[in-house]
Each structure stands twice: as C-alpha cells, then as structure tokens.
Amino acid sequence: MATPRGKLPMAQVEVLPQTQQRTPGRPGDPCIMVIFGAAGDLTRRKLIPALYNLAKAQLLSREFAIIGIAHTAMSTEEFRNKLSEDIRRFAGSEVDPKIWEWFTQRIYYIASEFDDKSLYPKLKTTLDKLDKDHSTHQNFFFYLATAPQFFGQIVEQLAAVGLMDESGNHHWRRVIIEKPFGHDLESARALNKQLLSCASEKQIYRIDHYLGKETVQNILAFRFANGIFEPIWNRRYIDHVQITVAETVGVESRGSYYDTAGALRDMVPNHIMQLISLTSMEPPISFRPDALRDEQAKILHAIQPLSSEDVLSRTVRGQYGSGVEDGHPVPGYRQEEDVPPDSRTETFVAMKLAIDNWRWADVPFYLRTGKRLAAQTTEIVIQFRRAPFVLFRDTPVENLMPNQMVLHIQPQEGISLQFAAKVPGPIMRLGAVDMNFNYADYFGTQPSTGYERLLHDCMIGDATLFQRADMVEAGWCVVSPVLDVWKALPPRNFPNYPSGSWGPKEADELLERDGRHWRNFDR
Ligand code: BG6
C-alpha cells in the first residue's frame, strides 16, 4: 500500500503483540446462540454477516451453532437457503463457499410466537440435543432482536425452564438485549427489575451498536494511550464540545416504530450518551469492564438535569418537510409510510448540556441528531479556546480562529486537527489548515458490520462494551425532563426544516446565542 504523503508508513505504527492485547485473539467459547426475531432485518443484515466474518477470522469456536426463532413459518432448510441468498448482499466481501458451507450446517430454525409458552420447553429440548451434537458445553446465549414488549417475558420464560441457570459454574448463560431499552426512565427501571428478578446483572448484555464501531472504541485509545491530549482535555483549554449524528435518510420503512419513539428516544439516551461519556469521562483505573463502566456512569450522573425552563431554552426539536436529498425530491416525514399525516413526532433534536464536575464546569456540550439532514456524518468536535493574546493585531489579521479537533466517527473515519498557519506572502495573513489522520490510510479497511466485536465479547464473557442497568437509567434521567416538557407542550410549527438542510434555524440560534456555530459542511 502506498504511504500517503506526509503520513507515517505502516511499519512505524506500533500494534500491540497479541499476547499483550486485553482480549486475546482467541475464538469465542463453544456455545449456541439463539436469535429471537431471526426473520428480521437485523439478523440478515448484521448478525449473520458478523458471525460469518468471525468464522472467517477464526474467532468463532468450531463448537458453535445457531437457532433462529421467529413466527414466520419456515423449515431449517428454508432458513438456511434464505440466509445463503442474503449473505451475498451483506457480507461486505466475497463469500468463501467452504466457510459458508461449514457455517450453514450449524444453523437451525424454530417457527413460533415468542409469547407461546410451549416454545420454551421445546427450545430447552432442542438446545440439549444440539449441545450434544455440537459439544457446546451447555453454554447458551440468547439474542433478543424482537419488539421491546417481548424482552421481559422471553427472559422470564427462559428462566422458568432453567435456561438462565448457571449453577455449578461449569457453563454460562447470557442474554443480549437490543434497544430500545425502555420507553422512558420508569419503563427502563421496570424492565431492569423484571430482568434482574430472573437473571443476574452479569448475565445481561445490553447492546448499543455504537460501541461496536472501531472509531467509537478509538476515542478511548486516542485519549488514554497518548500522553499529549489528556493534559489539555479540560475546561482550561476546551471552549466547548459539539456532537453531531446527522443522517440523510428518512425513516424508511420504520415509520410505525419511529413515530412512537422520535429522534430523542431513538438516539440520545443510548448512542449519543455513549459518545458523550467516552469523550468526557475520567481515565478508568483499569480496562476491566466495571472500571470503565463506573467512569461512564459517573459522567452520565454528572450531566446537569434540565429544569422546565432549561428545556425551553436549551433544547430544539424539528420535523423534516419535503425537500431535496442527493438531487432528488423527497417527501416530508408526514407523508412517509405508516406515519400519521398530522404526526408531531420529532425527527431532529438539538440540546445544550452541562457536565457538573471539576473538569468540565462551564464547558457546554452541544449535541444534535436528525434524519434527512444535509450530510451523513457522525463526529465529535472539540473546540479549543482561542489563543489568549492577539499578537498580530497591527497586521491584517483581525480574528484568531480557535483550534478544532474533530473525531470523525462515520462515514469518514479518522481524526483531524485544524490550526492556523501563515499564508505565504509578504503580508502577515493566517489561513486555516488541517492535519488529518484517516483510518483507512493506515490500517486499510476490513469488512465489518460493527457487531463482530460485540458478539465475540459476549462469547468470551467480556461485558466492557455493554450497558449496565445504572448506565441505561442514567441516560434516561438526562432525557426525561425533555420528554415531559415536550409532551405537555406539543409543537405547533412542524414540519420546520426542509429535507436536505441542517435542521431548524432554532438549532443554529442555540449556538449563536453563545457566540458559537455548528461545524457544517457540504456533502
Ligand atoms: C439506530 C436508530 O439505533 O441507529 C436508527 O434506531 C438510526 O434510527 C441508527 O438510523 C443509526 O445507526 P448508524 O450505525 O447508521 O449510525
């Protein structure tokens, strides 16, 4: 691979030898994965391709099997055939026929409703048989890719037939739960209580797919594997932080779910809280699951609760109208499939948060997320304070621009630092220049769905990148006051931003009032 100009060649990048890696590159434990909701999109687009990629990377045990469960009537053979068609579309690279053949031979299917109690004794019998056939040591994990109303009852039924029982300590039983984890603080607490009445916290893996993204995990490496950033990572040097999760897509075929959730519930207590906590937490004392999660939880608890007045002055909601996306006319949210024509659900949210601790006092964290925006980008902007003294004031330089460091999460993956440089010429003039690190230039790209690491972690019992009950609840605490005020005061001006824009003008005003601006750019 050619070394990009001005960048370190690959050989100079130190990669830890395998023996020093926290998660040795060993295959997952022998086990059976049971997927509830196996006929859905998540299974074919993410889970199966991720497992296949793990098999290809030899990170899946040879003693492994999958049982898919869904209400669609289908035989095991039909399920295998369907997945064999889908894998070609979603693997992200050429499918190796030998590996796929090995893989499909371990896939089984049960057609059933999740609330049919007779499913669970039947599942237990099937698991016992497959456990013998595939020597999986009675290690089972259950992936709940279902509608959220089934989470609690599935785990209760699994426990009732003894499938959550780890007594004897010779085997493990785990449950992975997809979002949404609750609909608000109260329902999240109730769900935690229900789950913890039939399983222990260490058996519950609450997944947030943002933590499976390499660039999100890289925030930790960037902050804590380098000595030069941490000393300036605080209120003395940082003016504010901006987090943007912008999508160009609309709600697509998910109108009925999305209309009951909205942008705030869909993105903020989960994905955006992950980005905030990793960016702002204190260094953990070790990389053990609870050391890291304790620090994340602490920062979530330190986010200043918003009063009703704060909600009015520090939050903005929006809904997209029709507009132009990628040069094509697109309909407004209210015209989307399964969305009521008078819907008041927000598809955009912007907020200004404060973190009440020594490191971040007076440093605003601005966040925004929305659908049908001008560009697809997830990024964290760290804006540093301006230089304290305007040395160049008797020159044509009027304003010094502040330095910006941007952690690019997706689709661009990397880190850039913007700083001022002298524009060549006889007169003193400054121009903004960028220093860029681009992941792909150094490490190439690998086919990844973002679920590989998380599934593998579950198979080796590493819960570091999964949410603990207290973290989920802390995320809901932040958004609860907003949900309450918004519910009491329904929006009257929806739709209030055209598709293809950067959201409602109130989101710009939120920063302009503080003399700041969002980092916007053209696609
Ligand atoms: C999901 C939300 O959790 O995350 C979606 O429900 C959103 O509405 C998606 O589009 C964004 O994920 P990603 O990985 O595409 O940034």
Question: What is the tens place of the pLDDT at every residue in 472-488?
Answer: 999 999 999 999 999 99
Q: What is the mean pLDDT of the chain?
A: 92
Q: Does the pLDDT value for residue 316 go beyond 80?
A: yes
CB 355 within 8 A of CB 363: yes
Judge if pTM exceeds 0.85: yes
State mean pLDDT over 20-25. 49
pLDDT over 70, % of the chain = 94
Residues 521 and 375 sit within 8 Å (Cβ to Cβ): yes
CATH superfamily name and code, 28-178: NAD(P)-binding Rossmann-like Domain (3.40.50.720)
In this predicted structure, the answer to whether residue 276 has a pLDDT above a threshold of 60 is yes
| Per-residue model confidence (pLDDT) at position 20 | 35
Q: 453 near 220, Cβ under 8 Å?
A: no
* Percent of the chain residues topping a pLDDT of 90: 83
Q: Is the pLDDT reported for residue 380 higher than 70?
A: yes
Burial class (CB in 10 A: 0-12, 13-18, 19+), 244: buried
State how far the Cα of 88 lies from the Cα of 191, in Å rounded to an integer. 37
- Report the nearest-CA residue for atom 14 of ligand 1: 210
The residue annotated as part of the active site, out of 240, 271, 408, 456, is 271
Residue ranges lining ligand 1, Cβ < 6 Å = 179, 209, 247, 266, 378
Superfamily name and number for 212-512: Dihydrodipicolinate Reductase; domain 2 (3.30.360.10)
Cα 216 to Cα 237: distance, rounded to the nearest angstrom: 23
For the segment 387-402, the average pLDDT, to the nearest whole number, is 72
Does the annotation count 271 as an active-site position?
yes
Helices 97-104 and 48-56: crossing angle in degrees, nearest 10, is 120
Whether the CB-CB separation of 123 and 67 falls below 8 Å is answered with: yes
| Torsion sign, CA atoms 40, 42, 46, 52 | negative
Ligand 1 atom with the smallest distance to the CA of 254 is: 8
- Write out the two tokens for 210: 């943002």
pLDDT (0 to 100) of residue 522:
66
Q: What pLDDT is stored for residue 393 in this prediction?
A: 67
Q: What is the enclosing helix (H) or strand (E) of 33? A: strand 31-36
Q: What pLDDT score does 12 carry?
A: 38
The answer to whether the peptide bond before residue 180 is cis (omega within 30 degrees of 0) is yes
Beginning with the edge strand found earlier in the chain, give each strand of the sheet holding 328-330 in spatial order: 328-330, 320-325, 497-499
Q: Calculate mean pLDDT across residues 368-397.
A: 87
Q: What is the pLDDT of residues 339-353, one digit of tens each?
A: 999 999 999 999 999
**For residue 25, what are the contacts with CB-CB under 8 A and spacing of at least 6?**
18, 59
Exposure b/e, 387-401, CB count within 10 A at least 16 = b: eeeeebeeeebeebe
Distance (angstroms) between ligand 1 centre and the Cα of 245 equals 9
CATH 3.40.50.720 maps onto the chain at: 28-178
Q: Where in the chain is the domain with CATH 3.30.360.10?
A: 212-512
Tokens 């797919």, residue located? 209
145-162 confidence digits (pLDDT tens): 999 999 999 999 999 999
List helix spans (H) across 303-451: 308-314, 439-443
CA 458/CA 463 separation, integer angstroms? 7
Residue 17 pLDDT more than 80? no
